[in-house]
């Protein structure tokens, strides 16, 4: 009995992460958009967990294109975003609310009332975290969570050594994340030092997870996250324990991936 159970677990582990190798960023974006639109077609009122960063821009662009052609309908879709900088309001160009509005929400027929991003200007950020957790619960959880990968393996803003059991919480950004994101601000000093992020536990509670990674600069972390040990020092490595993860990465991002795929 014990053997059969561990074998089952082993088998499940083997098929837990589907990996799609894309030729390049455009191909990656199309593949990711296909997976997202399949979710919307299968469940028109689904809850999409969405991400910011440069990685998903192409996928959002593709979704907008398909929406304009009449191939996808966002009328009933609900969304929750992973994270937001503390101190930026939605009209700030580097806020994640602004990003989402411009890259996706304002260009499709989604009802803005059904789009959710943590409020980075909340007076009481701890209460905002609790409100966000309750909101996700009230929506029935996330059907498909989209994730990018930070260079240090962060997902959302869960930096290395984050506790795996946290839901939405306040984080202090690491120097490396501040440096990486400084390219988007006028100067490094303008990058907020704190953020509200869905936690690893919140992410792991999503029914399905889609990770996208592009470029040679992500090759090391893709390999560590999906081939290395599961450890809080590489937050994305926890995804190896989720039952339904798809990784779409381009050839450059998979160039150090050791497994044969």
Phi–psi pair at 14, nearest 5 degrees: -60, -35
Residue 93 is among the residues annotated as catalytic for this protein: no
Marked catalytic residue, from 34, 152, 223, 242: 152
Which residues lie below 8 Å from residue 134, measured CB to CB, with a gap of 6+? none
From the CB of 150, what's the least distance to ligand GLP, in Å?
Answer: 5
Residue 165 is among the residues annotated as catalytic for this protein: no
* Using rule CB under 6 A, residue 199 touches ligand GLP: no
- Tell me which of 24, 54, 109, 111 binds ligand GLP, using CB under 6 A: 54
Q: Which long-range contacts (CB under 8 A, 24 or more apart) does 14-17 make?
A: 16/240, 16/241, 16/242, 16/243, 16/244, 16/245, 17/226, 17/239, 17/240, 17/245, 17/246, 17/247
Q: Contact 88/125 with Cβ under 8 angstroms?
A: no
From residue 78 to residue 107, what is the string marking binding to ligand GLP with x (rule CB under 6 A)? Answer: ----xx------------------------
- Tell me which of 37, 39, 55, 103 binds ligand GLP, using CB under 6 A: 55
Q: Contact 228/215 with Cβ under 8 angstroms?
A: no
Residue 159 is among the residues annotated as catalytic for this protein: yes
User: Using CA atoms, how far apart are residues 61 and 58, in angstroms rounded to an integer?
Assistant: 5
Identify which of residues 143 and 159 has a Cβ nearer to ligand GLP in the complex: 159
From the CB of 82, what's the least distance to ligand GLP, in Å?
Answer: 5
**Secondary structure tally for the chain: helices H, strands E:** 8, 10
* Using rule CB under 6 A, residue 177 touches ligand GLP: yes
Which residues lie below 8 Å from residue 61, measured CB to CB, with a gap of 6+? 29, 103
Identify which of residues 43 and 194 has a Cβ nearer to ligand GLP in the complex: 194
* Using rule CB under 6 A, residue 159 touches ligand GLP: no
Identify which of residues 53 and 199 has a Cβ nearer to ligand GLP in the complex: 53
Which positions touch ligand GLP (CB under 6 A)?
51-55, 82-83, 148-150, 156-157, 177, 181
Residues with a catalytic annotation lie at: 83, 152, 154, 159
């Amino acid at each position: 009995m014990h053997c059969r159970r561990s074998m089952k677990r082993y088998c499940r582990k083997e098929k837990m992460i589907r990996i799609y190798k894309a030729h390049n960023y455009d191909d990656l974006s199309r593949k990711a958009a296909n997976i997202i639109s399949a979710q919307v077609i299968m469940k028109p009122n689904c809850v999409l967990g969405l991400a910011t960063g440069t990685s998903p821009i192409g996928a959002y662009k593709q979704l907008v294109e398909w929406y304009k052609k009449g191939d996808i309908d966002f009328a009933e879709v609900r969304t929750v975003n992973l994270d937001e900088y503390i101190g930026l309001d939605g009209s700030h160009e580097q806020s994640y609310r602004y990003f989402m509005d411009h890259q996706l929400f304002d260009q499709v027929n989604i009802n803005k009332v059904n789009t959710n991003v943590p409020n980075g200007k909340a007076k009481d950020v701890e209460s905002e975290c609790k409100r966000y957790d309750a909101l996700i619960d009230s929506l029935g959880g996330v059907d498909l969570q989209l994730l990018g990968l930070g260079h240090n393996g962060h997902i959302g803003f869960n930096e290395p050594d984050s506790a795996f059991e946290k839901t939405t919480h306040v984080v202090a950004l690491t120097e490396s994340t501040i440096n990486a994101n400084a390219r988007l601000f006028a100067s490094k000093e303008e990058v907020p030092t704190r953020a509200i992020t869905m936690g690893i536990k919140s992410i792991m509670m999503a029914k399905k997870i889609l990770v996208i990674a592009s470029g040679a600069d992500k090759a090391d972390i893709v390999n560590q996250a999906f081939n290395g040990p599961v450890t809080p020092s590489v937050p994305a490595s926890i995804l190896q324990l989720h039952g339904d993860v798809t990784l779409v990465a381009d050839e450059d991002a998979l160039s150090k991936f050791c497994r044969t795929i």
